[in-house]
Amino acid sequence: MVNQTIFVTGATGLLGTEVVSHLLATTDDKIYVLVRASAAAEGANRLRALWWDDEVLAHAVGERVLPVVGDITASLKGVIPADVTHVIHCAAETGIQKSYDELCRINVEGTRQVVMAAQALPHLKRFTHVSTAYVAGTHSGRIMEEAPLPTSFYSNYEACKAQAETVVRTSSLPFTICRPGMVVGNSRTGRTRNFNTIYFALKLILQGKMLVMPCSRQQTVNVAPADYVGRLVATLTLDDRAEGRTFHLTAPKDSLPQVGEVVDAVRAWASEQLCISVPKPLYIPMPQLRTIGRRYNSRSGAKRRSLLSNLTALMPYFVDDHVFDRTNTDELTGPYTLDWHAFLPALLAYACRQNFMRLSDQTVFQQAVKRRQSRHYPITYYNIGAQGMECITGKQMNEMVGRYVAKLQTLGVKQGDRVALAGINCAEHAAIDNAIGLLGAVSVPIYYTTPADEIQLLISKSGARCFFVGDERVMKTIDSHLPNVQMIPFGPLRNEPLQGEVAAIPSAAYSSELATIRYTSGTTGEPKGVMFNYSQLKWLGQVLTNLLSWRDRNSEMRYLSFLPMSHVVEGILAAYAPYCMLCRAKIYYLTDFQLLAKALPQVRPTVFFSVPRFYEKLWEQIEQNPIGQRYLKMQDGWMKHLTGGLLRRAVLRKAGLNKCSQLLVGSAPISEELLHHFRALGIEIHNAYGQTEAPLITLNRLGQNVIPSIGTALPDTTITTAADGELIVSGPQVALGYYQLATDTFKDGVLHTGDLGHIDADGHVFISGRKKDMLITSYGKNINCTKIEQRLMDIPGVEQAVLVGEQRPYCTALLWTNGTIDTLTADIERMNAQLSHPEQVKRFCVIQTPLSISRGELTPSLKVKRNVVLEHYTQEIDKLYS
């Protein structure tokens, strides 16, 4: 007795994925899948890259799901394993606008190759061919499942699929023909691969561009969810009764949605979920469009993709009068039970989350190269420095990336090798990062302000084989420290133009492979290398775009990169998000941080993220402004409201933030009082929360800004609290762990954040402090250092504060100010009045020497190393307790 073994083509597509998923869930059969790759290992990587968001599918690769290397457009003789008993042929080219030759090569000749290979299988029981209901062509009315094929069609796609059916029917194989309608995403999750056919119309509706519908409100839409179709394909393949029969995998006519109903449902969903008002279209039946579309689609050459060409290609389906009979389907699989009202929201939510971008196995670096080739949605880069602004087109950027790929290959860098880089923000820094990712190597970004001995330590710990340097300070201090590591200057340190070979872009998929090591700032000790794989980088880029408003995602995006590119926010979230959006994008790199105030009005970004200090300085400018001073002294009333409006517009315009739809803050705690001050002025600043170990965990969404929370969890993210109040996080953004270091931080696959907090009934997260920032007085009282230090820094003029009190009778503080503060004692007394007795600061000392990175008191990201500071100022501390 031969065991049942199934071979699937097109498993990397939407329908093939659903077929494999159903087979895994309902059988114990071994499943071979055909994959285009150079070797089985690469094929397995491709599958994992495509299925990384489905744990069951991803884990099955290499176990029950076995990749077979091959291509249906080439001979498959000897490719399909001899123990296969069932073949399911899903692979097809579904692009209506492809050339006739391309459609024929894949859909007809490809089917012929699979049929010929299947004929040689000694144990074959069934060959299932996935066709399309639209092989009905120009026939109208009720279409019977076993009716002869027509001779005229509305597109070359339909004609080629009909020819493919003939290839199968005239073979000697025990066949089953499955004919789905327009396949849409999974009815539960919305998951799909391509956003074509009906998705094209849905996107236009959501963008407010579908003002005229060239059909009646009553026109039906022949859609079928992919999981429904996949389940029936798999079920019929294993059903002996299905041999030699044809099945329409469509919804019955009375279950099909009407165009008017779909538009109304989309408009209601958009209002509720996207907070936008979609215009109501005008319905004008145009039956003549079917003839126009048919003529257009019958052209043999490939059609140029554009709004008009896409609409023209779809015209025959706006006036579709087919009624597909389901006699065979109902007999063997039962009646259709799905309700389109139930699955449409899932389709819309998934499509909007993916920005209607085709899903592929490409890494975010490969996707970046492709996005830069777009004519409709170009990406342009700019370097902003003291000498002015330099423009780099998407084509020029790709050439730069290609040259750095060649450079890395010359250096012998290969997949898995570590490559360090440190330098100012510039397009060349981004190009090097992109080139490293394209080779499957591992980037190790380092802050350019990091001391020389620490740079040496990080390069040694990571095992980097070369070091790209784009900052003169680093080059001067590090040159003699790294005798065995090749240093390559870039950006302002490169003495000659970047020339040489432009290497071909590698196409391998690395989804689960290590992509980058990001070192922590080391506030509590030696920096730790945080590891992320390629799938995580892509997810982080995608999820950030999803958090922007729908209007922002469909308008020109302008972004100013000024935080260090080694920072996870700048170097991962902001760096990769533009490649996960379909809109025009302009990315500006600020080569000198001191020019920020000048650069912002030049750029006028549409989204802006910064650390709290930026907003503190912005408020200080308001307090120093004559109009601001007058506003702050006013009593509540219409005059203050009017003045506040004028002041708000003036402040945002002068700061260059008046075109910004959302102001974000993160990377450190921000004063609750400051957030309320801005809100009173009509400026909403949205708190975000993340760590190096999970770059973005929560965010206050637009229209849902709850102060002083850090927002609600990102999609696919779960946050809970431990018994002691520590926040525990799980989700795709949580790092793989620390490089070559075992720790409880990532115990059981979740992140123990070290932050204390609580979650309210609406899911908003509130942080009360760090576990490691708690001190215990000699009276056994637990004091939250972060809370007290933040209140001290809320005092005008106090720039930094370190609380002291561990095993001491009371709390004291070390303070750093921007000058003499006459009211400091009175200000601290007012603060103490709002604190419990153990929390009150009894004495303080103003330190004149600024905190320094070089002395180890600050991390490269300017966070205070508490233990180092306490050690450096022991004499001052002792005096506070004498």
Least confident residue range of 205-219, 260-274, 294-308, 523-537? 294-308
d(CA 456, CA 744): 27
Distance of CA 637 to the CA centre of its chain: 44
Higher pLDDT, 526 or 695: 695
- Range 5-203+222-256+323-334 classified under CATH 3.30.590.20: no
pLDDT tens per residue across span 602-647: 999 999 999 888 998 999 899 988 999 999 999 999 999 999 999 9
d(CA 865, CA 859): 7
Q: Where in the chain is the domain with CATH 3.30.300.30?
A: 777-880
Which two tokens mark 580?
A: 């996960």
Burial of 524 (0-12, 13-18, 19+ CB in 10 A): middle
* Tokens 């970047």, residue located: 498
d(CA 274, CA 351): 13
Are 459 and 398 within 8 A, CB to CB? no
d(CA 241, CA 717): 45
pLDDT tens per residue across span 836-853: 888 999 999 999 999 988
Burial of 321 (0-12, 13-18, 19+ CB in 10 A): exposed
Q: What is the mean pLDDT of residues 680-706?
A: 94
Structure confidence at residue 205 (pLDDT): 95
Whether omega for the bond prior to residue 150 falls within 30 degrees of 0, making it cis, is: no
* Tokens 């106090």, residue located: 798
Task: Give the per-residue SS3 of 771-792.
Answer: HHHEEECCCCCEEEHHHHHHHH
Higher pLDDT, 487 or 262: 262
Least confident residue range of 84-93, 287-296, 664-673? 287-296
* Confidence bin at 717 (pLDDT 50/70/90): very high
Q: Which of the 8 DSSP states describes residue 2?
A: P
Are 538 and 597 within 8 A, CB to CB? no
Contacts of 139 (CB under 8 A, 6+ apart): 147, 150, 322
Are 790 and 769 within 8 A, CB to CB? no
Residue 1 has pLDDT above 50, yes or no: no
d(CA 627, CA 654): 14
Percentage, residues of the chain above pLDDT 70: 96
Contacts of 331 (CB under 8 A, 6+ apart): none
pLDDT tens per residue across span 229-255: 999 999 999 999 999 999 999 999 999
Burial of 778 (0-12, 13-18, 19+ CB in 10 A): exposed
d(CA 601, CA 594): 14
According to CATH, the superfamily of the domain at 777-880 is: ANL, C-terminal domain (3.30.300.30)
Distance of CA 626 to the CA centre of its chain: 44
Which of 248, 159, 560 minimizes the C-alpha distance to 384? Answer: 560
Q: Which of the 8 DSSP states describes residue 90?
A: -
d(CA 493, CA 488): 9
CATH of 363-606 given 1.10.3720.10, 3.40.50.12780, 3.50.50.60, 2.102.10.10? 3.40.50.12780
Q: Where in the chain is the domain with CATH 3.40.50.720?
A: 5-203+222-256+323-334
Contacts of 559 (CB under 8 A, 6+ apart): 574, 578, 585, 586, 587, 588, 605, 606, 607
d(CA 213, CA 219): 10
> Strand 726-730 relative to strand 718-721: parallel, antiparallel, unpaired?
antiparallel
Higher pLDDT, 719 or 375: 719
For the beta carbon of residue 841, count every other beta carbon within 10 angstroms: 23
Residue 2 has pLDDT above 80, yes or no: no
pLDDT tens per residue across span 388-419: 999 999 999 999 999 999 999 999 999 999 99
Are 260 and 218 within 8 A, CB to CB? yes
Structure confidence at residue 111 (pLDDT): 98
Q: Where in the chain is the domain with CATH 3.40.50.12780?
A: 363-606, 608-658+661-772
Least confident residue range of 116-125, 248-257, 483-492, 705-714? 483-492
Q: Which of the 8 DSSP states describes residue 42?
A: H
Are 317 and 219 within 8 A, CB to CB? no
CATH topology of domain 608-658+661-772: Rossmann fold (3.40.50)
Are 568 and 695 within 8 A, CB to CB? yes
Least confident residue range of 182-186, 479-483, 646-650, 835-839? 479-483
